[in-house]
Structure 1
Amino acid sequence: MALAFRGALRSVARRLQVRSYADAPKGDEMALTFAAGNKVFYDKKVVKQIDVPSMSGAFGILPKHVPTLAVLRPGIVTVTENDGKISKIFVSSGTVTVNDDSSVQSELNSAGNEKVSIHSHIQKQKSYAFAAREVCLAETSYQDGLPKAKAQAAIAVEVAEEIVKAASG
């Protein structure tokens, strides 16, 4: 009796150990959720393409993209909507997640890192970038021996440089 029970148990266990691949995305749609702590830019809106700057390099996201997790670096996120409208949004840092169902979530760090629309406040951003760079360079020279101050200054300089690039082009 015990031997027959073990045999039946093994048979059931083998049937349960079947490997399968992830489900394919449904259709050619990609839902985007894109938010900072203070504002939601897209909430599950279907879009055509997203281009993001990541720490490992910039890349584009289309429907049926392979699942991905990336850390954003300072730069411009470009969103191409289904009607052809292109939105460019400056990001200072955050993450982007591409799921196997073609949904995309991007979240920004809200601790002083704010997304700014490229089409507004261009002159303000240029002057901010210049001032931020000057302050960071001064901090670095005064606090030369502190690794944390150096890292903060380097990050602020990178953000300032990307703001200038975004505002210029």
Structure 2
Amino acid sequence: MQFLWIWFGVTRWHCHEASFEAFYNNAVVKQVDVPTLAGMVGVLANHVPTIGVLKPGVVTVTDMEGKVFKLFVSSGTLSVNIDGTCQVLAEEAVKVEDIDQNAARAELEAAQRATVDGSDLSKAEASIRVEVADALLKAATGQQ
């Protein structure tokens, strides 16, 4: 029987200091579903080696007993290695059940307003905020 080993971590960079939290560290799980720029990637044991860029969305981890754990990720990377390990490294992540729907909705509205005025750079940054906030709100309301 083959197993899927996962390592899932989150980095946060603030004021030249990095903090790190591991949700899974060398854990055996049944499946990991990851939102990437190329689409959703479902990773099982014996998956071919893969790398990917995370897009805002929900990472779903199913453990060996079938329990499902969902995390919203803003961005990051996925790597599935030849030895059967899977690494998900997110810039920011939050448990889906911990998302405040009202705060997510307010962030989306503020980001949408910010796309209207300002320089091209500030509009581009606001567009990224809209993408992340929209995915966050969808995760909070079960639409993702």
Q: Same fold by TM-score, threshold 0.5 exceeded?
A: yes
Quick check: 156-165 or 43-52, which moved more?
156-165
> Does 1:32 find its partner at 2:3?
no
Alignment coverage as a number of residue pairs: 134
Partners of 2:106 and 2:58 lie apart in 1 by 20
Identity %: 42
- Corresponding position of 2:102: 127
Show CA shifts across 1:25-46 (max 9, x none).
xx41111000002311000101
With the length of structure 2 as denominator, give the TM-score of the two structures.
0.87
Please point out which of 119, 130, 148 is paired with 2:121: 148
CA root-mean-square deviation: 1.2
Partners of 1:116 and 1:162 lie apart in 2 by 12
Structure 1: which 5+ runs fail to align?
Answer: 1-26
* Larger Rg computed on CA atoms: 1
Structure 2: which 5+ runs fail to align?
Answer: 12-19
* Structure 1 consecutive aligned stretches of length 4 or more whose deviation exceeds 3 Å: none
With the length of structure 1 as denominator, give the TM-score of the two structures.
0.75
Kindly indicate which of the two structures has a greater share of residues assigned to helix: 1
Kindly indicate which of the two structures has a greater share of residues assigned to strand: 2
1:12-161 matched pairs, under 5 angstroms: 27-37=1-11, 38-109=20-91, 114-121=92-99, 124=100, 126-143=101-118, 146-161=119-134
The answer to which structure, 1 or 2, has the higher relative contact order (CA under 8 A, 6+ apart) is: 2
